[in-house]
Amino acid sequence: MRCKNLVDVGRRQFLRGGAMATAGAAVVTVAGASSASAAPVAGAQLDYPSNKLANIADLKVNEPMDIEYPDADSPGALIKLGKAVEGGVGPDGDIVAFSTLCPHKGYNVNYNDKDRTMNCPGHFSRFDVESGGQQVWGHATSNLPQFVLRVDAKGDIYAEGASDLIFGRPSNVL
């Protein structure tokens, strides 16, 4: 039962370094410098770029859209679930976004639209996008990083932070 709505890995290569028409680039350099002198323990969160991901009108229920956040090397998925979930945004409280790099060893997770889980072909971990990215079963030692979203009056959806460290980086903002 291979899912048709796979997060498209190939396309990301073309987007890298481009398409995000936001102020992200400027923020990246600042954070890169700050990470070296960062407070060692979790405390103040980083300065995140505020990146526009999509407009609500672009989203169809249960059809994830590929995103990159906080930069083009960090793939994610934006999903309208069709039912309100904790942490969901938008008028229906049902829009969520997650990193799609598995926090085990960094393979790209795939979306199963039947039970609404992200599944990792690396070593068979799976995460529940309806429960805040909770690892249903797997090897990761954190849940799937969830992006903090904001929706403006026009229905534009912005990502502005992340709940957990994204795989493969010492700092979410490199």
Q: For ligand FES, which residue of 77, 120, 157, 173 counts as binding (CB under 6 A)?
A: 120
Nearest distance in Å: CB 163, ligand FES: 18
* Residue ranges binding another protein (CB under 8 A): 1-3, 32, 35-36, 38, 40-42, 45-46, 73-74, 86-87, 103-108, 110, 112, 114-115, 117, 119-126, 128, 130-144, 146, 161-165, 167-174
Which of ligand FES, another protein, none interacts with 117 (beta carbon under 5 to 8 A by kind)?
another protein
The total number of residues shown for the chain amounts to: 174
- Please list the active-site residues: 104, 123
Q: Which residue's CB is nearer to another protein, number 34 or number 55? A: 34
3-state secondary structure of 128: strand
79: exposed, middle or buried (Cβ count in 10 Å: 0-12, 13-18, 19+): buried
Triad 107, 43, 135: Cα angle to 5°: 30
Q: Which residue's CB is nearer to another protein, number 57 or number 141? A: 141
Nearest distance in Å: CB 58, another protein: 26
Distances, alpha carbon 146 to alpha carbons 14, 66, 97, in Å: 24, 14, 6
Q: Where are the beta strands (DSSP E) in 4-144?
A: 51-55, 65-68, 75-80, 95-99, 110-112, 117-119, 126-128, 134-137
- Which residues of this chain interact with ligand FES, rule CB under 6 A? 102, 104-107, 120, 122-125, 138-139
